[in-house]
Amino acid sequence: MQAIQVKYLGATNSKGNRLKAIACCDESVTLSYNYELEANDNARVAALELIKKLEWNVVISGEGMLRNGDYAFTLRGA
């Protein structure tokens, strides 16, 4: 089973709020936060972008929030 973890990255002096989706082997994507979406929807978009980048043939089968506030998405074959 594969999973994707999505971290919230706060704004810096040069960058706005972002989300970073991370999978095995330290593969990741970082996206700007979309204020038109809820937090969990932003996290889902980041996870889907990582799936697209890695060309995985999977769908999100579950999601939840970890104790540290990160989102986690479990995956299954499409």
Instruction: Compute the mean pLDDT over every residue in the chain, rounded to the nearest whole number.
Output: 96
pLDDT at 2 over 90: no
Q: What is the largest CA-CA distance in the chain?
A: 41
Per-residue model confidence (pLDDT) at position 78: 83
Q: Does residue 25 have a pLDDT over 90?
A: no
The residue-averaged pLDDT of 40-63 equals 97
Residues comprising the chain, all counted: 78
Residue 15: pLDDT band with limits 50, 70, 90: very high
CB atoms within 10 A of CB 44: 20
